């Protein structure tokens, strides 16, 4: 683990604040996913069961698109070239904002997957929707869970503050 003193005094509080907010939101959405699945389990005898093939297909496609879309979104937004460009344009603060914003976007997709499954369970009485969508939403939420160490490493890699000096080229400019 890299020492924390390599981060600038300006970056450390912002890193702590943004990481805490993102991690808290992801944890809250994980808890919501678990609660929705528990409510579907406890209320399974109270829901009126009726099959709906159109809703079944639409929900499965939506879950697939949101699940795969969350992976694509995260990988695209966290690509090294993009993070390097963001840091060059907006600095460490912009990098941290991007990390937080992307984490929240992916987490909201995971939460939406779980919510769609619960709504379909209420509409059809089939608790499988809540369980299946809840599982996919839970996996997406775990996938996007922000670890402070990874954010710290990203910040040190793309926005180093000590030990790095700009070197001028000694070759003539042509």
In-domain check, residue 2: no
In-domain check, residue 72: yes
0.85 exceeded by the pTM? Answer: no
Q: What pLDDT does 107 receive?
A: 97
Q: Which domain holds residue 50?
A: 9-158
Tens-digit pLDDT profile for the chain (174 aa)? Answer: 444 445 556 788 899 999 999 999 999 999 999 999 999 988 877 877 788 889 889 999 999 999 999 999 999 999 999 999 999 999 999 999 999 999 999 999 999 999 999 999 988 888 889 999 999 999 999 999 999 999 999 999 988 764 343 433 444 443
In-domain check, residue 165: no
In-domain check, residue 173: no
Query: End-to-end CA distance of the chain, in Å?
Result: 43
Q: What pLDDT does 125 receive?
A: 85
Shortest CA distance to 6 belongs to which of 119, 130, 156? 156
Q: What pLDDT does 146 receive?
A: 94
In-domain check, residue 126: yes
Q: What pLDDT does 49 receive?
A: 78
Say how far apart CA 23 and CA 35 lie, in whole Å.
18
How many domains would you assign to the chain?
1
Shortest CA distance to 117 belongs to which of 62, 65, 171? 62
Say how far apart CA 31 and CA 38 lie, in whole Å.
10
- Enclosing H/E stretch for 79: none
């Amino acid at each position: 683990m890299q020492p924390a003193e390599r981060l600038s005094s300006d970056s450390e509080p912002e890193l702590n604040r943004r990481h805490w907010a993102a991690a808290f939101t992801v944890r809250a959405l994980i808890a919501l996913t678990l609660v929705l699945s528990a409510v579907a389990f406890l209320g399974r005898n109270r829901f009126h069961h009726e099959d709906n093939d159109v809703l079944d297909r639409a929900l499965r496609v939506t879950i697939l698109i949101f699940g795969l879309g969350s992976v694509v979104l995260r990988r695209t937004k966290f690509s090294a070239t993009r993070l390097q460009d963001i840091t060059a344009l907006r600095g460490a603060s912009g990098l941290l904002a991007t990390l937080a914003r992307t984490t929240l976007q992916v987490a909201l997709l995971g939460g939406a997957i779980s919510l769609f499954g619960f709504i379909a369970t209420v509409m059809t009485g089939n608790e499988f929707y809540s369980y299946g969508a809840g599982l996919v939403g839970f996996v997406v939420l775990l996938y996007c869970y922000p670890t402070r160490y990874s954010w710290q490493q990203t910040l040190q890699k793309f926005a180093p503050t000590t030990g790095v000096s700009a070197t001028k080229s000694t070759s003539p400019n042509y």
